[in-house]
Amino acid sequence: MTTSDQHIDELMDQYPPKPEYLIGLLQDIQDQQGYISYGAMLLASEHTKVPLSQAYSVATFYQSFRLDPPGEHEIKVCLGTACHLNGGQQLVDGLSRKLQIEPGETTDDMMFTLSTVNCVGACAIAPVAVVDENYHAGATMQKLEREMRKVIDLSSDKIMGEPNA
């Protein structure tokens, strides 16, 4: 048994083996591991007594589930109505161009995942982008590029700080 399987075991202990707990369990697995692997899904489906095909159906139906490992940093651009009217789509287009990935994809160096969200409910400060859970009010390409450089610097500092990395 791998360490990640053991972690999943611990999560599964918190849920009774019933189909209604599948979504909660998958959410916890994703919170812990960043995404849901084939193996993790198999364990979750067995534990909650849901056929694998249906567990997969659930994971692909809901937008928040991720079946591939995410990048180190996530940039989420809100496309709620207020953000749309204030140029949210331009931000997505700009970031897409800059990172050379489509929304939902991760850069080859696994640094950034670009995603869109339907409304984070922060309409008063539109357009909003969320970089690693930090909300950016009145986001512009310039501000976001600055923020991206900042997080890249942080990551490289971290790597350089670990001699064996």
Contact with other proteins (CB under 8 A) among 1, 61, 102, 109: 61
Among 60, 100, 155, 156, binds other proteins (CB under 8 A): 60
Tokens read off for 7: 């972690």
- State how beta strands 73-78 and 112-117 pair: parallel
Between 60 and 155, whose beta carbon lies closer to other proteins? 60
Stretch that binds other proteins, among 3-11, 84-92, 105-113, 152-160 (CB under 8 A): 84-92
- The residues, ordered by sequence, that sit 6+ positions from 71 with a Cβ below 8 Å of its Cβ are 106, 107, 110, 111, 112, 113
Residue range at the interface with other proteins (CB under 8 A); choices 2-10, 50-58, 105-113, 146-154: 50-58
In contact, 135 and 147? CB cutoff 8 Å: no
| Burial letters 126-161, b for 16+ CB under 10 A, else e | bbbbbbeeeebeebebeebeebbeebeeeeeeeeee
Q: Whose Cβ is closer to other proteins: residue 19's or residue 70's? A: 19
61 or 162: CB nearest other proteins: 61
- Residue 126 identity: A
Given the rule CB under 8 A, which residues bind other proteins? 18-24, 26-27, 38, 41, 48, 50-58, 60-65, 67, 79-82, 84-85, 87, 90, 93-94, 97-98, 117-126, 128, 135-137, 140-142
